[in-house]
């Protein structure tokens, strides 16, 4: 198993080998075109002394040896190239890169037989050799990737990234169980995503259209209705989730001890909505209910007051509206209305 340190070490070795290849080619250029470099003023005594000592190894006696050495180091560096995964690598392109690169790389020596200025000969020779080198590098990289792909059919590591998952249905009176499928050892297996205790909190995150409602939310609605739960459902894309909840309730109405009712509040289409009175006197058991209703109304009408809660000019109108609501609650129809579930 390769770790990150192993991959990083292999990458450093390949980069160092390729750097040696370029270094050999650069010394070859310096020795072969020394007079031109001297004419341009790109030489130094210490550089010349070092390269002269290197040239005594016999590697730079002619043009063929250093080119072969640089090419050998390049080939070694390409053996460790992993590259970008691609299933559409064309063999014809690899052959074209390699053949054209090798041809230009070795035939560039003919530039020394041209009857032209030394500057032109040196620039042409180095340009053709570098072009051939780059073409071989490109073709070799593609060839290395092609070999890796042929050795491994699963180039995107789909099978190796899989692992055994929960295939048991773990269900209780509160659970949410999402059916799923996964790939293991080249086989599609069924599994379950079990939320044993949804009361701990369930957060579903995804971009619009990712499938949050289809894969998660609809299962929560249908399963909890089948288990006899009462739901408060906010349907942002009315009536997608509402239709699911209503149809599920019709099929499972007999599962409730008390037959539930289905209400819809729709402020956009008043022809498709039920009505409710948030200030219904019989829904207020205490003056604090009137206070909450008054605060909600006043802060909804004056959004700036939300930042100024506690100020006299904010709390005074809220208290005044509270008194009006509680007065109407208590003295409805000119008589005292007893609080719900209380004896007077």
**pLDDT tens digits, 35-67:** 899 889 888 889 888 888 888 888 888 888 999
At 126 the pLDDT is 93
At 310 the pLDDT is 86
- Enclosing domain of residue 296: 281-334
pLDDT higher than 80, residue 84: no
At 19 the pLDDT is 92
Domain-located, residue 190: no
Residue given tokens 């499938």 in the structure block: 211
Q: Among 83-87, 299-303, 308-312, whose mean pLDDT is lowest? A: 83-87
Output the average pLDDT for the chain.
Answer: 85
Per-residue pLDDT averaged across 18-25, rounded? 92
Distance CA(297)–CA(278), nearest Å, equals: 10
Domain-located, residue 92: yes
At 56 the pLDDT is 84
Indicate if 147 and 285 belong to the same structural domain.
no
Domain-located, residue 48: yes
Per-residue pLDDT averaged across 125-141, rounded? 92
Domain-located, residue 32: yes
pLDDT higher than 80, residue 198: yes
DSSP letter at 338? P
Domain-located, residue 233: no
Last residue of a domain, one of 130, 151, 172: 151
What proportion of the chain, given as a percentage, has pLDDT over 90?
Answer: 32
At 343 the pLDDT is 40
pLDDT higher than 90, residue 141: no
Which residues have a Cβ under 8 Å from the Cβ of 161 and sit 6 or more positions away?
none
pLDDT higher than 70, residue 338: no
At 342 the pLDDT is 44
Domain-located, residue 255: no
267-271, 274-278, 293-297 — which one is most confidently predicted on average? Answer: 293-297
- Reading phi first (left if > 0) and then psi (alpha if -120 to 50, else beta), residue 337 is in beta
Distance CA(188)–CA(184), nearest Å, equals: 6
Domain-located, residue 263: no
Last residue of a domain, one of 124, 151, 178: 151
Number of domains present in the structure of the chain: 2
At 219 the pLDDT is 92
Last residue of a domain, one of 85, 119, 151: 151
At 308 the pLDDT is 86
- Kindly indicate the confidence band of residue 270, based on its pLDDT and cuts at 50, 70 and 90: confident
Q: If DSSP codes are grouped into helix, strand and coil, which group holds residue 288?
A: helix
Domain-located, residue 232: no
């Amino acid at each position: 198993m390769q770790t990150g340190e192993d991959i990083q070490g292999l990458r450093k070795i390949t980069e160092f080998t390729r750097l040696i290849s370029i270094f050999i080619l650069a010394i070859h250029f310096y020795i072969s075109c020394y007079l031109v470099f001297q004419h341009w003023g790109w030489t130094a005594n210490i550089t010349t002394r070092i390269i002269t000592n290197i040239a005594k190894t016999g590697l730079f006696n002619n043009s063929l040896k250093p080119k072969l050495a640089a090419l050998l180091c390049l080939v070694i560096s390409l053996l460790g190239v992993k590259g970008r995964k691609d299933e559409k690598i064309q063999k014809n392109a690899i052959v074209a890169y390699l053949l054209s690169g090798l041809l230009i790389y070795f035939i560039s020596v003919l530039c020394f037989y041209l009857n032209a200025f030394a500057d032109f000969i040196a620039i042409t020779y180095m340009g053709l050799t570098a072009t051939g080198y780059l073409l071989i590098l490109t073709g070799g990289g593609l060839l290395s990737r092609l070999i890796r792909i042929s050795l491994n059919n699963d180039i995107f590591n789909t099978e190796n990234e899989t692992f055994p998952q929960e295939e048991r249905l773990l269900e209780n009176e509160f659970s949410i169980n999402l059916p799923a499928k996964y790939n293991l050892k080249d086989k599609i297996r069924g599994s379950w995503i079990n939320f044993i205790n949804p009361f701990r909190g369930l957060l579903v995150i995804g971009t619009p259209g990712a499938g949050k409602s289809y894969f998660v939310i609809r299962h929560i609605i249908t399963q909890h209705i089948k288990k006899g739960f009462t739901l408060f459902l906010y349907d942002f894309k009315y009536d997608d989730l509402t239709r699911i909840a209503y149809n599920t309730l019709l099929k499972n109405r007999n599962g409730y001890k008390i037959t539930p009712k289905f209400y819809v509040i729709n402020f956009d289409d008043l022809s498709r909505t039920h009505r409710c009175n948030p200030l219904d006197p019989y829904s207020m058991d205490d003056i604090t209910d009137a206070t909450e209703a008054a605060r909600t109304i006043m802060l909804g009408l004056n959004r700036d007051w939300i930042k100024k809660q506690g100020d006299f000019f904010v709390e005074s109108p809220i208290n005044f509206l509270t008194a009006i609501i509680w007065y109407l609650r208590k003295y409805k129809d000119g008589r005292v209305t007893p609080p719900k579930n209380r004896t007077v």
